[in-house]
Chain A
């Protein structure tokens, strides 16, 4: 088809394409694609290095063309190479045969472990395939096949493309290709035979040699030598039982009630089935010549044990069932459930309580409503507790989701303090539970936003995971959660601290649920201190109270929002406040010894100026260094102050929103400062109480020392004197500091209005907990579960020491920390993390399986052991591993043994039980000669026989150029294929 017009010609010649057929158009499209991809002309690359097909990178380019309305995809596959010398590219090498033809003979990359089939069959480094674009489309009829092949031939001829061009015919799964490669005066035809049944004469070398020779039809005698490469692949599927040590966990034992409390803190690990399904041993004779060996239908020299090359690859079980992965996945599924706890458990449990319904439901409605009024005075505690018992009893009769033994074990595991004799003695529980571990591993929680691995939250997550998997699924989860919430309430009502939580304000680096629990603990701590304080100082209650302005400012904007702003310095940790009568705004500070001392000293000498000079100092914490009050030289005391109000992140969010909403105007800023001045005011009052007759200057020296400026001045007498004054900004008339100072009355912290209402906060937390659905709960705790899973994987990996797994774990950690830091991570991302964890688990399980199979642990010689370990780790990471020393090497012997044992088993399965250990087996075998005789039967018949026959022969006539000829044959159980590439000289034909 002459596509190029010649406009420069004098006579206008019209080239008419209007009548071009579909076929012509198809060919021109093929040419166009070849041109676009610059596959024209001869470019010789470097000779192929050994193994480059495996180690190098393969790339492909695709395009789509159509023949009428039938779509084909054209794909160019090529090995990426450093661009060969550029001069060579443009040179027109007349005599040189195309690269592809030369590659037919190259022996460096026979039998690549993983490659495109055309690469395997023909040893090509570059080729183009035209195949039906849609998967279901098929080119079946012979005439169509021929048409395609002719198109290819024409396109190659027209363009001068020397890259082999293939067409895929028949059904795709058959992988049938025909193709052609053209060079100057030479052509190679790629042909293929694919049969399901093998004709008998082709199962062995001699038969195949016959075909090859007849195909070549060489006119020469004697025939040029044929080089032969052979690979037999043996498959080992039948691992003996004892090679896979891991048993699935005994679930019955767990259910049976003999649950060690510890079991609940642990995650299961490992694959339930052997993650290595097959071992493939490839025995290769890379270079034989005809006549050296005999292989025909009655006799064969091809003894696998004698093969010069052995290589092994393992087939991994697809998605082996892995315990840890399943565990986490199942837990993750809860996140998508919509049911509420009540819906799952059914309300009936409460309704059947008869007479007590009213009381209990009343109590519970308290639970489920926001409780603006502190209700702790009600005897909810008792009610709930009896209700709890009843629920348990009740469930014991009917089928409850969790049986009592399991439930009790879990509760004991979560709340170990409940087991101790004096549950009331809850003071020590928190302090001892948190060994400050600074290790990187321990601090993982702050990357995952989960909770410390020794915390209650973390344990709860693990328990729920376990329950979900083994004990009643979603129902069990709902049940445990209900019990957990009841326990929380019980602890709040009865002043038992919650164990397993770091003391102090909520840790914002942890998950919200953990923060909530910490918050509850803070409330319990305060309430407890207050209640105990009341016991000790029964009659000492304060009556004259000041409704301090502190609280007022906050009330304007809703009391909740003020809490955080009123935080105070935490360093007064030693002293602890006890609170007076709970629902009043005032609290009582237990007088500590320090204060008493100060009191005694001060009470005598008083006489400062101002109105409060006669006041008795109250609420002193300690002396502030050597500072003294300005007016009278008395020591300056740091007062006992109200402790900061703990905040969880959602409260904080709310509060900062409120503060931000005030806007950026001056009034807004003023209001904001006012809102937050409660704590300043409270501190001022405490300070005034502790330092009777003090000035703002005194206060500033403690509170904001840089705002008190001291200068050395020389007084009238010529002495250097320190003279100090407030900074300019503190002196601004009626600034908020001055304002607050003027309003502040000398009231010790214990009698001030409470800045933190523990009762209300506790009820809010309890309510929050009660309304969490199992799905919410799962979302709260998923970070903990992922955290635990990562730790588990890490721990297991450290036993095996697999570097690639280490790397992946690191990736998982950094990936998860990114995902989990967002408030609502996408499901897809979470799934991906879980998937990655499962993958790592499978990898570790594979490593274990292989180590067990190859007995790396049993190996006594250090050197051999190292070699073997290296071999095993290569097996995991590389597609195919060469066995050093083939059948005679250490690893080779073990593989031989494995096959031998498997053969024994199939031969007589009865003997399986009484089989001798492999070590003795080898000894018994005796000398190598003896063994050799046996070895044929040591292996099963090869699952795959591959042969490559090569020669350089002139075709079609004796005087033609000698050109590469190649035939590849593969024979497997259900498949026989011959792939031939036969070149001929086209110069005179």
Chain B
């Protein structure tokens, strides 16, 4: 199966503790939901191959613990990620408010600046919503992220979220290609800079 895989992408899931990061991932990779999923310790890791627009991509997804104390550990895993899924819980405003901190963290630790970010509002199946969809939208727009609301429990939006993210990453030039694949782009620019040079039929009189 690995032979026809276009690329392997590193994706990171972050967000406050208890917003359902691991549940989202479990829903995506195993299509199950476990209401009693143990709190993640450190980082966890799952793999799934998906196909977007006929391109197969292998996703290495790193799920992180949301607890403050683990936060000194997880940034190390931001390195080299091409996509980040930032999750909040629509029924807990505090998890939404803390998003800014997470973005700061991303900015500080990401090793590249063209990384694709996605905001996911989780637990929309629950009754007691505290964060309106529009707020999420607004936040995502402000920070130029993808946005979707989802529920790991009912499966709403989960698949879609991952697919969208992967599609976006694949569309971003230079983000996923191995370095050998993006050659020969700069040539024309450089020639212009050089200007003069040998006479190729076009020359001045002297």
Contact = CB atoms under 8 A, between A and B. Distances in A.
Contacts of A77: 201
A815 B193 contact: no
Interface string A953-985: 000000000000000001010000000000000
B38 A672 contact: no
A509 B206 contact: no
A732 B29 contact: no
B204 interface: yes
A565 B47 CA distance: 20
B122 to A, nearest CB: 13
B111 A821 contact: yes
B73 interface: yes
Contacts of A832: 186, 190
A818 B174 contact: yes
B70 to A, nearest CB: 8
Interface string B11-42: 00000111000000000010000011111111
Contact of B76 (A647, A683, A735, A836): A647
A815 B186 contact: yes
B206 A972 contact: yes
Contacts of B42: 565, 672-673, 675-677, 679
With a 10 A CB-CB cut-off, give which of A115, A644, A706, A732 has the most chain B CB atoms.
A706
Contacts of A822: 179
B156 to A, nearest CB: 22
B73 A564 contact: yes
A836 B73 contact: no
B72 A567 contact: yes
B72 A730 contact: no
B18 A707 contact: yes
B168 interface: no
With a 10 A CB-CB cut-off, give which of B45, B71, B111, B206 has the most chain A CB atoms.
B206
A704 B67 CA distance: 6
A566 B111 CA distance: 22
Interface residues of A, number: 73
Contact of B18 (A58, A659, A676, A706): A706
B72 A728 contact: no
Given A569-B72, A946-B205, A839 B41 contact: no
Contacts of A675: 42
A669 B202 CA distance: 68
A316 B76 contact: no
B38 A703 contact: no
Given A660-B45, A669-B44, A652 B205 contact: no
Interface string B75-88: 01101000000000
B182 to A, nearest CB: 9
Interface in B51-76: 60, 62, 67-69, 71-73, 76
Interface string B183-198: 0001001100110100
Contacts of B43: 565, 659, 672, 676
B205 A120 contact: yes
A814 to B, nearest CB: 10
Contacts of A564: 73, 76
B60 to A, nearest CB: 7
Interface in B88-114: 92, 109, 111-113
Interface in A928-943: 943
A706 B66 CA distance: 10
14 contacts: A313-B204, A569-B72, A672-B42, A676-B73, A704-B17, A704-B18, A706-B92, A729-B18, A729-B37, A737-B38, A815-B186, A836-B190, A944-B206, A946-B205
Given A566-B73, A568-B69, 4 more contacts: A703-B69, A729-B36, A818-B174, A946-B205
Interface of A: 58, 77, 111, 113-117, 120, 233, 235, 280, 313, 316, 447, 449, 508-509, 564-570, 644, 647, 649, 652, 656, 659-660, 662, 664, 669, 672-673, 675-677, 679-680, 683, 703-704, 706-707, 727-730, 732, 735-737, 808, 811, 815, 818, 821-822, 825-826, 832, 835-836, 839, 879, 943-944, 946, 970, 972
